[in-house]
Amino acid sequence: MRIHPQILEKNGNKEFVVLPYEEFIQMQETITDYEDLMELQRTKSELKDDPELPLSEVRSSLNI
pLDDT in tens, 11-25: 999 999 999 999 999
In this prediction, residue 1 has a pLDDT band, given cuts at 50, 70 and 90, of confident
Sign of the alpha-carbon torsion through 27, 28, 31, 37 = negative
- How big is the chain, counted in residues? 64
pLDDT in tens, 31-50: 999 999 999 999 999 988 88
DSSP state of 1: -
> Alpha-carbon distance 19 to 11, whole Å?
21
